[in-house]
């Protein structure tokens, strides 16, 4: 069982508004990410959120978890999402909610590489740069639950470099995330 965890509880500090609700080609940013996850081969989808307006965009196939500790940084969302997953989860795929061009094909490529490398962390490369989503086998669950601050799995990836498999994603647009007004205008 592979669980997808959509991290949607950030503060959009570099934007004037909640970027996850901003339309990209008439569809709210977070809804684009949700749609890709729902269409993929994930067995379950968990969404960690802070802004309750996001709940209006949720598909009934998604389990939601309110992140009351969002002020602690991304690690709080990682922990909340990990703890909300089915106990039979074999792997956690962390999907950032500000990546508007993520698609089911990319998610499925990561899942398929995991099925051939069950003990490896899977990290996509966009134009040779590490990106998201990242998949962690369940054997890294304790590491995920012990991260701190405004960091995701980078600490774990750096700690277990010999356990990381990279997958090249040819379309670098898929790896774009939206952090600022400039990023939004660029796309």
Domain count, the chain: 1
Whether residue 58 contacts residue 64, with contact meaning beta carbons closer than 8 Å, is answered with: yes
Q: 93 exposed, middle or buried (CB, 10 Å; 0-12, 13-18, 19+)?
A: buried
Domain residues for the domain of 165 are: 2-186
* pLDDT score for 59: 76
- Residue with the larger pLDDT of the pair 149 and 107: 107
> Residue 16's pLDDT band (boundaries 50, 70, 90)?
low
* pLDDT score for 11: 52
**pTM of the entire predicted model:** 0.92
| 4: β partners | 45, 93
Q: Is the confidence at residue 19, as pLDDT, over 70?
A: yes
Question: Which secondary structure element, helix H or strand E, spans residue 111, and what is its range?
Answer: helix 104-116
Torsion sign, CA atoms 95, 45, 107, 122: positive
> Residue 131's pLDDT band (boundaries 50, 70, 90)?
very high
The whole-chain average pLDDT of the chain stands at 90
């Amino acid at each position: 069982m592979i669980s997808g965890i959509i991290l949607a509880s950030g503060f959009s500090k570099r934007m004037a508004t909640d970027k996850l609700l901003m339309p990209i080609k008439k569809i709210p940013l977070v809804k684009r990410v949700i749609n890709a996850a729902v269409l993929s081969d994930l067995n379950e989808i968990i969404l960690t959120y802070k802004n309750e307006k996001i709940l209006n965009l949720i598909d009934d196939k998604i389990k939601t978890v309110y992140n009351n500790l969002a002020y602690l940084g991304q690690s709080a969302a990682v922990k909340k999402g990990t703890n909300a997953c089915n106990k039979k989860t074999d792997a956690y795929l962390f999907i950032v909610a500000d990546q508007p061009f993520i698609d089911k094909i990319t998610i499925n490529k990561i899942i398929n590489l995991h099925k051939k490398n069950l003990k490896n962390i899977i990290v996509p490369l966009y134009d040779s740069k590490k990106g998201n989503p990242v998949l962690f086998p369940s054997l890294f669950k304790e590491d995920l639950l012990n991260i701190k601050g405004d960091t995701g799995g980078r600490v774990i990836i750096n700690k277990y470099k010999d356990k990381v498999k990279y997958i090249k994603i040819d379309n670098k647009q898929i790896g774009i995330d939206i952090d600022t007004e400039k990023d939004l205008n660029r796309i």
